[in-house]
Amino acid sequence: MREVLSASASADREELIVADVSREVLDGVRARMAVLTHRRPDLYG
């Protein structure tokens, strides 16, 4: 399942964009983010 979220805000004022995202989509995005493989515990303990 592939979903596309599309939204845009104005360039001249602050706005808040809110969307409902399914748990499956959220888990898929988190799985593709390699943040834990880039950790450097040797730098900060």
pLDDT of residue 9: 84
Task: Quote the CA–CA distance of 14 and 42 in Å, as a whole number.
Answer: 39
CA distances for 26 relative to 19, 22, 38, 41, angstroms: 12, 6, 20, 26
- Condensed to tens digits (0 to 9), the pLDDT of residues 1-45 reads 566 767 788 889 999 888 888 899 888 888 888 887 888 888 886
pLDDT of residue 23: 92
pLDDT of residue 39: 83
Q: What is the DSSP letter of 12?
A: S
pLDDT of residue 7: 77
Q: CB of 15 within 8 A of CB of 9?
A: yes
